[in-house]
Structure 1
Amino acid sequence: MAVAGAIFGAAFGGWINDKYGRKKSILLADILFFIGAIVMAAAVAPWMIILGRIFVGLGVGMASMTSPLYISESSPARIRGALVSTNGLLITGGQFLAYLINLAFTKTPGTWRWMLGVAGVPAVVQFFLMLSLPESPRWLYSQDKVKEARAILEKIYPANEVEQEMQALQSSIEADKASEVSIGHGFISKVKHIWGNDVVRRGLYAGITVQVAQQFVGINTVMYYSPTIVQLAGFASNKTALALSLITSGLNAVGSIVSMAFVDRFGRRRLMIVSMFGIIVCLIALSVMFHQASNHAPAVSSFESLHFGRNSTCGSFLNAYEPSNWNCMSCLKASSDCGFCANGDSKYHPGACLAATDAVKGMCKGEHRTWYTKGCPSKFGFFAVLLLGLYIISYSPGMGTAPWIVNSEIYPLKYRGIGGGIAAVSNWVSNLIVSETFLTLTEALGSSGTFLLFAGFSTIGLVAIYFLVPETKGLQFEEVEKMLEKGFKPSLCGNVKEDDSK
Structure 2
Amino acid sequence: MTSSTHTAEKTRGTAVFTCILAALAGLMFGLDIGVISGATHFIQEEFQISDRVIEWIVSSMMLGAALGALGAGWMSAALGRKRSLILGAILFVLGSVLCGFAWSPNSLIVGRFILGLAIGIASFTAPLYLAEVAPEQIRGSMISLYQLMITVGILAAFLSDTAFSYSGAWRWMLGIIAIPGVLFLIGVLVLPDSPRWLIMKGRKQQALEVLRKLRGNEEAIIQQEIRDIEEQLRIPQRGWHLFKENSNFRRSVGLGVLLQIVQQFTGMNVVMYYAPRIFEGMGYDTQAQMWFTAAVGLTNVLATFIAIFLVDRWGRKPILYTGFVVMAIGMGVVGTMMNMGTLSHGQQIFTVAMLLIFIVGFAMSAGPLIWTLCSEVQPLKGRDFGIGCSTFTNWIANMIVGATFLTLLNVIGNAATFWLYGALNAFFILLVFWLVPETKGTTLEQIERNLMSGKPLRDIGQ
TM-score of the alignment, normalized to the shorter chain, above 0.5:
yes
Indicate the TM-score class for this superposition, using the shorter chain for normalisation: 0.7 to 0.9
Structure 1 residues 465 and 247, CA gap change in structure 2 (3 angstroms)? same
**Residues in 2 aligned to 1:398 and 1:97: alpha-carbon distance in whole angstroms:** 22
Question: Which position in structure 2 is the counterpart of 1:118?
Answer: 176
What residue identity is the alignment partner of 1:112? W
Could you list the per-position Cα deviations for residues 4-37 of structure 1 after superposition, in whole angstroms to 9, with x for gaps in the alignment? 2222112222332343333332222111111111
**Residues in 1 aligned to 2:86 and 2:94: alpha-carbon distance in whole angstroms:** 13
Question: Which position in structure 1 is the counterpart of 2:18?
Answer: none
Could you list the per-position Cα deviations for residues 170-220 of structure 1 after superposition, in whole angstroms to 9, with x for gaps in the alignment? 55433327x5xxxxxxxxxx5465343467534423432322111100011
**Which structure is larger by alpha-carbon Rg, 1 or 2?**
1
**Structure 2, unaligned stretches of length 5 or more?**
1-59
**Residues in 1 aligned to 2:160 and 2:402: alpha-carbon distance in whole angstroms:** 24
What residue identity is the alignment partner of 2:416? G
Larger helix percent = 2
State which of 139, 149, 162 in structure 2 corresponds to 1:90: 149
**Residues in 2 aligned to 1:13 and 1:382: alpha-carbon distance in whole angstroms:** 43
Structure 1 residues 17 and 249, CA gap change in structure 2 (3 angstroms)? same
**Residues in 1 aligned to 2:250 and 2:417: alpha-carbon distance in whole angstroms:** 33
What residue identity is the alignment partner of 1:461? F
**Residues in 2 aligned to 1:198 and 1:80: alpha-carbon distance in whole angstroms:** 33
**Residues in 1 aligned to 2:119 and 2:91: alpha-carbon distance in whole angstroms:** 9
- Aligned-residue identity in percent: 31
**Residues in 1 aligned to 2:193 and 2:347: alpha-carbon distance in whole angstroms:** 53
State whether structure 2 residue 73 is matched by structure 1 residue 14. yes
**Residues in 2 aligned to 1:414 and 1:50: alpha-carbon distance in whole angstroms:** 38
Query: Aligned-residue CA RMSD in angstroms?
Result: 3.5
Aligned length: 401
Question: Which position in structure 2 is the counterpart of 1:241?
Answer: 289
After TM superposition, the structure 1 stretch with the greater mean CA deviation from structure 2, 146-155 or 219-228, is 146-155
What residue identity is the alignment partner of 1:389? L
Structure 1 residues 263 and 19, CA gap change in structure 2 (3 angstroms)? farther
What is the Cα deviation at residue 91 of structure 1? 1.2
**Residues in 1 aligned to 2:188 and 2:133: alpha-carbon distance in whole angstroms:** 14
Question: Which position in structure 2 is the counterpart of 1:330?
Answer: none
- Say whether the 8 Å CA contact 1:88–1:400 is kept in structure 2: no
State whether structure 2 residue 240 is matched by structure 1 residue 175. no
Structure 1 residues 105 and 424, CA gap change in structure 2 (3 angstroms)? same
**Larger RCO (alpha carbons 8 Å, 6+ apart):** 1
Structure 1 residues 387 and 266, CA gap change in structure 2 (3 angstroms)? same
- Say whether the 8 Å CA contact 2:335–2:419 is kept in structure 1: yes
Normalised by the size of structure 1, how large is the TM-score?
0.69
The correspondence of residues 23-172 of structure 1 with structure 2, limited to 5 A, is 23-75=82-134, 80-106=139-165, 111-145=169-203, 155=214, 169-172=229-232
Question: Which position in structure 1 is the counterpart of 2:39?
Answer: none
**Residues in 2 aligned to 1:14 and 1:279: alpha-carbon distance in whole angstroms:** 33
What is the Cα deviation at residue 446 of structure 1? 2.8
What residue identity is the alignment partner of 2:335? S
Structure 1 residues 490 and 424, CA gap change in structure 2 (3 angstroms)? closer
Normalised by the size of structure 2, how large is the TM-score?
0.74
- Say whether the 8 Å CA contact 2:162–2:290 is kept in structure 1: no
Secondary structure of the structure 2 residue equivalent to 1:236? coil
What residue identity is the alignment partner of 1:213? V
Question: Which position in structure 1 is the counterpart of 2:301?
Answer: 253
Secondary structure of the structure 2 residue equivalent to 1:380? helix
- Say whether the 8 Å CA contact 1:41–1:114 is kept in structure 2: yes
What residue identity is the alignment partner of 1:399? A
Structure 1 residues 68 and 275, CA gap change in structure 2 (3 angstroms)? farther
After TM superposition, the structure 1 stretch with the greater mean CA deviation from structure 2, 116-125 or 481-490, is 481-490
- Say whether the 8 Å CA contact 2:266–2:421 is kept in structure 1: yes
- Say whether the 8 Å CA contact 1:217–1:457 is kept in structure 2: yes
**Residues in 2 aligned to 1:166 and 1:478: alpha-carbon distance in whole angstroms:** 22
Question: Which position in structure 2 is the counterpart of 1:382?
Answer: 349
Secondary structure of the structure 2 residue equivalent to 1:176? coil
**Residues in 2 aligned to 1:156 and 1:265: alpha-carbon distance in whole angstroms:** 30
- Say whether the 8 Å CA contact 1:32–1:56 is kept in structure 2: yes
Question: Which position in structure 1 is the counterpart of 2:327?
Answer: 279
**Residues in 2 aligned to 1:264 and 1:146: alpha-carbon distance in whole angstroms:** 36
Secondary structure of the structure 2 residue equivalent to 1:43? coil
**Residues in 2 aligned to 1:41 and 1:416: alpha-carbon distance in whole angstroms:** 39
Question: Which position in structure 2 is the counterpart of 1:221?
Answer: 270
State whether structure 2 residue 405 is matched by structure 1 residue 438. yes
What residue identity is the alignment partner of 1:255? A
**Structure 1, unaligned stretches of length 5 or more?**
180-189, 298-375, 498-502
Question: Which position in structure 2 is the counterpart of 1:290?
Answer: 338
- Say whether the 8 Å CA contact 1:68–1:405 is kept in structure 2: no
- Say whether the 8 Å CA contact 1:39–1:48 is kept in structure 2: yes
